[in-house]
A = this chain, B = another copy of it.
Amino acid sequence: MAARHEEIADALRQAIDLGEYPVGGMLPTETELSARYAVSRGTVRQAVAALTAEGRIGSRQGARRVVLGSRRSQSFAELRSFAQWAKAMGHTATGRVIHQFRRPATVEDAQRLQIAPGEEVLQVLRVRGLDGEPVLLERNVYAQWMADAVERLPAECESVVQALYDDIGMIFAYGEHVIDAVAAGAEDARLLDIRRGSPLLRIRRMTTTPAGRPIEWSDDRYVSGTVSFAVANSIGSNPLARQSGQS
């Protein structure tokens, strides 16, 4: 059973989507919501904090909360799994390994995966598709302790995250993502069936276990026009930082 504050958050989301609390309008006061749902004020605050973090409502001391918009944001888990996201959006995800091999860790690998330079890592190149069209080129580097499990995966694997969970109970818990744009190189163009120099949205990711141990890092390149990312920010709290130059 979901926590009470999550139930309330869901109820509020639904009310906003149904226009019960119109965009540009105001939410009831905390006191009123406490009474309506028969919970303490603290629980109501937990619920509205979730909507605030999603950018659906705005909050300022002294004034009533404002409805900013009704994002659908198929939310959660989505960043960790291309396949799960695709499924949630009603698309079909495919995946195919182009090549994979073990090699010694470069200095960059070592830094990102918190291992020693020269330690063995597994490099994988995958093409992933949406509804039959190739949309994404994934260049992954896995830490050695993950290599065996990854090599056991079938060449055509729909969801890597799901397969690794089923196989060895691996959970991808945390991630960091750096986003920029690059031109398609020769290999990119050939595998994604686009022209060389076409714009690609690049996401460089780093993933860890729930205990904070680095699992892999990846350079993902999305074909322009197929996928975009959305972020909400508000005064005094934004989850996104702009960075200068290449890094």
| Interface set of A (CB-CB < 8 Å, partner B) | 23-24, 53-55, 58, 60, 63, 66-69, 71, 73-80, 85, 89, 91, 114, 130, 171-183, 197-202, 208, 210-213, 222, 224-247
Residue in B76, B181, B208, B227 whose beta carbon sits within 8 Å of that of A199 in the complex: B181
CA distance A55 to B172 in the complex (A): 14
Is B240 within 8 A of A180, CB to CB? no
B residues less than 8 Å from A241 (CB atoms): 71, 73-75, 78, 229-230
Alpha-carbon gap, A181 to B23, bound state (A): 29
Partner of A212, one of B66, B91, B174: B66
* C-alpha spacing A5/B206, complex, angstroms: 29
Q: How many copies does the complex hold?
A: 2
Is the Cβ of B179 less than 8 Å from the Cβ of A238? no
Docked complex Cα distance between A179 and B74 (Å): 16
Whether A224 lies near B114 (C-beta < 8 A) is: no
Question: What is the bound-complex CA distance between A68 and B80, given in angstroms?
Answer: 17
Please tell me if the beta carbons of A231 and B228 are within 8 angstroms of each other in the complex.
no
Inter-subunit contact B60/A210 (CB<8 Å)? yes
Query: By the criterion CB–CB under 8 Å, are B53 and A178 in contact?
Result: no
Q: List 21 A-B contacts (CB under 8 A).
A: A23-B212, A24-B213, A66-B212, A69-B176, A74-B241, A85-B242, A172-B235, A174-B235, A175-B232, A176-B233, A177-B233, A179-B201, A179-B231, A180-B228, A181-B201, A182-B225, A225-B245, A228-B243, A230-B240, A231-B239, A232-B239
- Beta-carbon contact of A230 and B178 below 8 Å: yes
List 11 other contacts, CB 8 Å, given A54-B239, A183-B198.
A24-B213, A58-B211, A68-B212, A71-B241, A78-B242, A79-B233, A80-B233, A180-B201, A180-B225, A225-B245, A231-B239
